[in-house]
Structure 1
Amino acid sequence: MAISVVIAIGGLLVAIHLRHEIHWGDAPTWTAAVAAVVAGIYAVKTFTSQNEQLKEQQDYISKQSELIEQQMEVITLERDERRSAQARQVILAPRPVALDPEKPGYFRAAAVVENGSDSPIKAASLNFGSIPASSARLTRISQSGTDTRETVASIPVPVVGPGVRFLFEVWHTSVDLLRGEAPSVTFEDAAGRHWTLDEHQDLKLVLSRPTAS
């Protein structure tokens, strides 16, 4: 700013010199002019400085906002990971649709739901597309590797304990209808959240418990 003031005063002196004479009676006018020039230069400098400070503040706020957004994304991911930790250990394994020898003329669709977590899940029910399962049985794997079916349970199954498997079944006279319906299970985790899981192990949180069909 000092250089600008010197240049301004120098310009005024040169102008006076070029006029070859000084009217001392106009000295107050020249003094006021110099003061006005100095004030103008100061105002411009101040305005420029304030703009630079404002830009620096805006850049800082922008970077802080980006940082906060990144932190919120991490927090959201960690929260979702914790929230779905138990539900992701539930497994849905569909069985091939086949003619049921115990029910002549009927085909059976079945799927096994296994709770692989260390806490129980509740209110487990399974649909084959729009067709609700009509039977649920507690199952165990025998030494020969086949399912041993035990205890028929109501649907939704009130409680599926840790490591427990349930076989859900439905029967229909149309094999094409059953083969065209994909199974999905809904259940409640230990924290009271409701989930749906399909045959591809695609897990989704549901906001409200689906009404029974």
Structure 2
Amino acid sequence: MSVPEWVGDLPTWIGAGGALGAAWFAYQTITSQRQQIREQQAFIADQSATLALERAELRAAAESRKWTQAQQVARVVRRHREPVGDQGAAYWQVVVNNATDAPIRDVQVRFGDAYVAAEVYEVKEQTLLSPHHIWQTQLGERWIVPVPLLGAGRVVQFHSQHLPGPAAHNNRPAVLFTDDNGIRWQLDFYGKLEEVQAGAS
């Protein structure tokens, strides 16, 4: 009895089975590779998110450290009036206390946009005489303006020139200094501390 032609011979069936097996193996391989790619993409996304969070935390810590020294620099502002003529004159005294454990540099006091401190003295001792901010200050030697270096724990007192009363009132003091990391800061009359951008006056 003869075998029908459509049945084929044994080698053809073996070849067809091999091709089918190879196709199945290729399909399984591609499926497995796709799964691995999805897992790798998920892993990379998780790692990227973790790295982004770590970078944000490092930036926040660096920003906090940047402000640490500057926030410890204190100042006390006093305005004095002197009766001169009808209008009177006034001048500012600004005490700058480097209450940090590192020096600050190029310490200056500006009064508005038009004036800078006329004199600066080392403060040897300060005593608060009343709760109304009346101080007794013992001054030491006169220093140069601006102060090139104010060591840790050192205190100085800046004096403005004598100005007509309205001019003194309208030109309130701001302290400028450079911290130990080379960052320039301004501490204004109201206690607002901000970084001075490069190139700013």
Give the TM-score, by structure 1 length. 0.67
Aligned residue for 2:101, secondary structure, equals coil
The answer on 1:75 being equivalent to 2:58 is yes
The structure with more strand, counted as a fraction of residues:
2
Instruction: Mark the CA change 1:38 to 1:143 in structure 2 (over 3 Å): closer, same or farther.
Output: closer
Deviations 1:152-172 (A, max 9, x none): 322111332333322223243
Deviations 1:98-125 (A, max 9, x none): 5334797433234321111234333211
Say yes or no: does 1:169 pair with 2:169: no
Task: Specify the structure having the higher radius of gyration (Cα).
Answer: 1
Contact kept? 1:137, 1:153, Cα under 8 Å: yes
Please tell me the residue identity of whatever aligns with 1:194: I
Which secondary structure state, in structure 2, belongs to the residue aligned with residue 118 of structure 1?
coil
Instruction: Assess if the C-alpha contact under 8 Å between 1:137 and 1:152 holds in 2.
Output: yes
Of the three residues 98, 119, 136, the one matched with 1:135 is 119
**Cα distance, 1:194 vs structure 2:** 3.3
Q: Give unpaired runs (5+ residues) of structure 2.
A: 130-134
The count of residues paired between Structure 1 and Structure 2 equals: 187
Give the direction of change, closer, same or farther, for the CA distance of 1:141–1:25 in structure 2 (3 Å limit): closer
RMSD of aligned residue pairs (Cα, Å):
3.3
Label 1:42 to 1:134 Cα distance change in 2 as closer, same or farther (>3 A).
same
Name the residue aligned to 1:25. Answer: 8
Counterpart position of 2:145? 155
User: Which of 76, 83, 99 is 2:81 aligned to?
Assistant: 99
> What is the rounded CA distance, in whole Å, between the counterparts of 2:83 and 2:58 in structure 1?
53
Larger helix proportion of the pair: 1
1:194 aligns with 2:183: yes
1:46 aligned residue (21, 29, 40): 29
Q: Which ranges in structure 1 are unaligned for 5 or more consecutive residues?
A: 1-20
Displacement after TM superposition at 1:25 (Å)? 3.2
Partner residue of 1:18?
none
Q: Percent identity?
A: 25
**Higher RCO (CA 8 Å, separation ≥ 6 residues):** 2
Q: Are residue 124 (structure 1) and residue 107 (structure 2) matched?
A: yes
